[in-house]
Amino acid sequence: MAGYSHDKQDHLKRLRRIEGQVRGLQRMVDEDQYCIDILTQVSAANRALQSFALALLEEHMAHCVADATARGGAEAEAKVKEASDAIARLVRS
Question: Is the C-alpha dihedral spanning 54, 56, 41, 88 positive or negative?
Answer: positive
Q: Report pLDDT for 65.
A: 93
Q: How far apart are CA 12 and CA 7, in angstroms?
A: 9
Between residues 2 and 11, the one the model is more confident about: 11
Would you tell me how many other CB atoms lie within 10 Å of the CB of residue 48? Answer: 16
Q: Report pLDDT for 84.
A: 95
Q: Report pLDDT for 5.
A: 72
pTM of this structure: 0.83
